Chains A and B, each alone.
Chain A
Amino acid sequence: MTMLPEKTERKMGLVIDLDTCVGCHACVISCKGWNTENYGAPLSDQDPYGANPSGTFLNRIHSYEVQPESGPAQLIHFPKSCLHCEDAPCVTVCPTGASYKRVEDGIVLVNEKDCIGCGLCAWACPYGARELDQAEGVMKKCTLCVDRIYNDNLPEEDRVPACVRTCPSNARHFGDLGDPDSEVSQLVAERGGMDLMPEQGTKPVNKYLPPRPKDRLNESPREEIDILAPLLAPVAEEPKGFLGWLDKTLEKI
């Protein structure tokens, strides 16, 4: 058993906007690139040019189809990485103390020197957010780019996780979710940000902004739609009538 800190000074995490994520995988590969070159062992790839390529990724995108009761089906792109939970079961299950949650900012990390690759933490994580690197035999997970966000060698504006810096549609936001006045907390408040699987009791720090309602211009009760856009009233049905309207209207310009 490994202990969690009683509380953390900040709750650094991600807010991911599911209304804006187009599923482009930019965050997935940017993360792969940064974390292959930086924190700990490289993220390895097995059989990279073969029949069953399989590598370590700290962030993956899953796509789900949703069929609403009425209206067309929808496709939701769902990026998933470690949620840096307040009650992180992956930490408490660790037999060596390799998994830990930082007291300064709440980031959950693996100290690779102490990791024995037993995989208990991956089993304990209800989100499937940890992957055992097959080459190194150690557990890998999102570090929230702990080696970027305080890095004096980077320009200040670049001190954000690689996935946030690269996201082309600005669907990923980074900040202190423990501070109700932070931009990320405000965004969560405005847009009804949600916990992933709250029933698991993990108290995830990362939040997801739900997709906005869709297909409002579809057939639906007239009175609702008329608020959006009343159907157009004709000025003419025939070309001749139209030209009459044209002449009259031009007089007014």
Chain B
Amino acid sequence: MGHVQPELNLSPKVSDEVRKTTCYMCACRCGINVHMKGGKVAYIEGNRDHPVNQGVLCAKGSAGIMQHNAPSRLRAPLKRVGPRGSGEFEEISWEEALGIAKGWLEPLRAEAPEKLAFFTGRDQSQSFTSFWAQNFGTPNYAAHGGFCSVNMAAAGIYTMGGAFWEFGQPDWDHTKLFMLFGVAEDHDSNPIKMGLGKIKARGAKVIGVNPIRTGYNAIADDWVGITPGTDGLFILALVHELLKAGKIDLDYLARFTNAPVLVNGDPKSPEHGLFLKDDDGKPLVMDRVTGKLTAFDKPGVKPDLAASYRHAGITHKPVMHLLAERYLDPQYAPENVADTCGVSAERIKRIAAEIARVAFEEAIEIDQEWTDFRGEKHAKMVGRPVSFHAMRGISAHSNGFQTCRALHVLQILLGSVETPGGFRFKPPYPKPATAHPKPHCKVTPGKPLDGPHLGFVHGPDDLCLKDDGTPARIDKAFTWENPMSAHGLMHMVISNAYAGDPYKIDTLFMYMANMSWNSSMNTTGVMKMLTDTDENGDYVIPRIIYSDAYSSEMVAYADLILPDTTYLERHDCISLLDRPICEADAAADAIRWPVVEPDRDVRGFQSVLCELGAKLNLPGFVNEDGSQKYADYADYITHHQRRPGIGPLAGFRMGETGLTEGRGDVNEGQLDSYIANGGFWSSHVPDQGLYYKPWNKAYQDWAVEIGLYDAPAPYIFQLYVEPMRKFQLAAEGHGDRQPPDHLRDRIKHTLDPLPIWYAPFEDGRVDTEEFNIHALTQRPMAMYHSWGTQNAWLRQIHGHNPMYLPTKLWEQHGFKTGEWAKVTSAHGEITVPVAHMAALNENTIWTWNAIGKRKGAWALDKDAPEATKGFLLNHLIHELLPPKGDGLRWANSDPITGQAAWFDLRVKIEKVDAVAEAHPVQPPIKSPVGQGPDELRWKVET
């Protein structure tokens, strides 16, 4: 038939209304436009005005409509009626639920507040939940940083006042060479993709360092398929090459870092390795102008990187000397690290040469005057356009802290931090460790804790130890086992509570953490710990309260469930007091608000805490007359003030003459102002303050003005981290607070104030000839941990997770498509389907993280592939290292921060006959929400 065209309506109505809020499909916190039709959510797209995503949106974000309507949503508070782990519950009222919680918690607070352990998982309201815990009075609070990326965050803050992601970002608009080490894809999600897009559009180069060539590494111009756990050694070999060639920014190092600071060189001195300081406690440098000892920050000083200082028989050398002596050592020569790293010496040299070429031959100059903290005026902003990004790939090792330190030191040696084309901080960072609180742990029954739980220690005096020297916290954070554990150790809470080590607890209260499944090491063991009983038949962990929006695996292991809302039904604030959404050019914060009201008997967890806090008479949550202070979380967000004029939200505060930003009084209409502004607020950094932020007068003054600091706080970068040396000194026998003898050698070795590399701990505890394969997981771009699988659209993309094997192992074992392998670690074994992947380190196998599901969870059919062929690598990873016969429980964690060493895992594999289901097979749990429908024809009709 001939060509005919029907009439089309090319301008159909898109929606009745667009409501702008913040995504929560992963941790990235993008702005979204929620299109409403007939009062229902019809379509979700990115918000073009939003600082994080500027309109784009990833697969998860676009699939939010399926999450919001997921059949796995919990419907009402639940009380356990069957044994723990069975999933047998009855629905109860909120009145009864909160009555039960009060009945359990009130006596604890009166007698022993530490018997409540409150850990909040993937919480985005930590400044609020920690405030609640602090008012309760328990020292046992943290979120999930300890099993995520605390190594990166803490190493960054101790070294330079911030790390990647929430702390800072590459200068995407100017960088000419970008080097990316292993990342969990949502750390962060859209901004990295947008940045890579900008780099690619300019034809600039990307080097990917990752054992696995997927995702970002797939588009890298050069891929370094490094051996897992050796990134630190590779980075220090680059440092070796750059030092040897003199390709470091001496002017930058002298002005802005502690490279010129003088260090006590007398091995007999109790101050050996500490900085020479003046009477005001300021580190001293030699001034090249006067040749005299001078405080590092004195106006006009020209710090000397080369000169030593001898006084009273003690030689003090600048940090630069120690650094040169350390890294020029042949142990860091490319030839000597190549085999360990699995990267040829030639390649390491070429990469070092390329970094040097771009940094020093393609330097950027921006015509922008600025004034530094010593009062010196600079006509230009000069940059070294090499930038880096890394997150969990290098963090989640027992050598992760030092590896992250090494990467930060590399950036600083190049002069590329806070200069054009390099790495840029995002407000409220830069913020050095000294500007953060110290950890607090002093418990007084019936009273609040003596201060914030988490913080940064500066020496043994700051550890969280009881008078008898035992750990004050259930997770043993801030102890000699892991002194600088800035985010706590959530992965040790259940294990320690079960072992009664350091003490027993009564109630475990958790939020958004799937601890009986993918969020724990040793998953089978954790399920046993949660269900095991003592000689009286009582549960070893007596009471468990859990809050989640969905029917996750953890729900079955709680006694009381407080059902949360979906992210489109709630208030939240993405606060500058917490994990903000700023960009390098601007301070910003944001809200979530209920774009729809819940159609179930569920409540936002934070609102529940407002009510429970009042029922428990917690000081921050009641008025003077004892009545409830905050009706709900929205009320708290609007009215709470942390310091005078500083609240959870910095935008649209009330000034003397009208709306103001940063500091200001409570504004009753603040949330409405946010909603009218698209769900966020942002304020631009002045042009003079855009780079050199830690030292830039214009930036510092602006930061004070909007309330990020109370006074200008310039500082220098810490190539050499003196607090680490203080722990070493204690281990050497100096000082009153002494580590236990069994930890002395480890502290002396690992808490080196200059970055070192040592083999992952597991290598020293297992036979590396037998367990000669590294095993990793990655989070897929289209799925956020366990949440994704309940999403009907996303599970069609990632419903299967075979174990990917490199060509060498595939051929060595004679595998064929569709076959199965038994994968064994020192701790356990799993039997799983395999697949071949060539673009992979030849000794590394991997699978997608958290695809495997328990039968009965997430409203999935028991025959769902996630529950039959899906599997977790977690069964192979223990929270403790293999015993070494000393009777001690050695955590499988970084010895400095306590970060879970997920990626140290070593395994062996063998081909086995195909099985019907991946092993271990867990019995089904009863679903409290039933199962999802057989078909979806999703369309909101109006």
Contacts and interface: CB of A to CB of B under 8 A. Distances in A.
Tell whether A and B belong to one assembly.
yes
A23 B215 contact: yes
Interface string A140-171: 00000011001111100100001001111111
Contact of A50 (B9, B48, B861): B861
A249 interface: yes
Given A239-B328, A250-B306, A234 B8 contact: no
Contacts of B12: 38, 147, 151, 153
Given A151-B11, A253-B251, A51 B863 contact: yes
Interface string A62-102: 00010100001111110000000000000000000100111
Nearest to B934: A47
Contacts of B606: none
Contacts of B933: 48-49
B832 interface: no
Given A48-B936, A100-B3, A157 B324 contact: no
Contacts of B868: 51
A152 B11 contact: yes
B57 A170 contact: no
User: Which of B2, B59, B242, B324 has the most chain A CB atoms closer than 10 A to its own CB?
Assistant: B59
B864 A50 contact: yes
Given A47-B934, A55-B793, A247-B306, A168 B56 contact: yes
Nearest to A241: B328
A44 interface: yes
Interface stretch (B216-224, B700-708, B913-921): B216-224
Contacts of A53: 792, 795-796, 799
A245 B306 CA distance: 10
A225 interface: yes
A220 B900 CA distance: 39
Nearest to B215: A22
Contacts of A101: 3
Interface residues of B toward A: which range?
A: 35 or more
A111 B9 CA distance: 12
B782 interface: yes
B201 A24 contact: no
B56 A167 contact: yes
User: Which of A32, A147, A228, A245 has the most chain B CB atoms closer than 10 A to its own CB?
Assistant: A32
A140 B807 CA distance: 39
Interface string B221-251: 1110100000000000000011111110011
B938 A42 contact: yes
Contacts of A231: 349-350, 353
Interface in B676-696: none
B92 interface: no
Interface in B82-97: none
Interface stretch (A2-10, A121-129, A174-182, A194-202): A2-10
B214 A72 contact: no
A135 B938 CA distance: 11
A237 interface: yes
Interface string B910-942: 000000000000000000000111111111100
B837 interface: yes
Nearest to B185: A24
Interface string B42-84: 1111101000010111111111010000010000000000000
A19 B48 CA distance: 25
B935 A44 contact: yes
A90 B380 CA distance: 61
Contacts, number: 315
Contacts of B14: 151, 153-154
A37 B43 contact: yes
A109 B4 CA distance: 12
A20 interface: yes
A209 B811 CA distance: 34
A44 B933 CA distance: 12
Contacts of B218: 22-23, 74-77
A232 B838 contact: no
A215 B223 contact: yes
Nearest to A148: B14
B5 A25 contact: no
A30 interface: yes
A235 B200 CA distance: 34
A29 B59 contact: yes
B325 interface: yes
B59 to A, nearest CB: 4
Contacts of A249: 246, 250
B196 A55 contact: no
Nearest to A3: B3
Contact of A48 (B35, B325, B935): B935
A243 B324 contact: yes
A100 B5 CA distance: 7
Contacts of A212: 221
B687 to A, nearest CB: 26
A42 B246 contact: no
Contacts of B185: 24
Nearest to B860: A49
B213 interface: yes
Given A169-B197, A231-B350, A236 B246 contact: yes
Given A25-B59, A236-B328, A250-B288, A45 B796 contact: yes
Contacts of B42: 37
Contacts of A67: 838
B937 A170 contact: no
B4 A100 contact: yes
B305 A113 contact: no
23 contacts: A1-B1, A20-B196, A25-B797, A26-B193, A42-B938, A45-B796, A49-B860, A49-B861, A50-B934, A55-B936, A103-B5, A151-B10, A168-B190, A168-B194, A170-B197, A211-B219, A214-B222, A217-B347, A219-B346, A235-B244, A237-B328, A246-B250, A253-B254
Given A23-B781, A24-B58, A29-B63, 13 more contacts: A24-B193, A26-B193, A28-B59, A29-B793, A33-B45, A42-B938, A53-B795, A151-B12, A162-B45, A168-B197, A211-B219, A231-B353, A250-B250
Closest 10 CB pairs of A and B: A49-B932, A168-B193, A73-B838, A232-B245, A48-B792, A170-B197, A235-B246, A169-B197, A51-B863, A25-B59
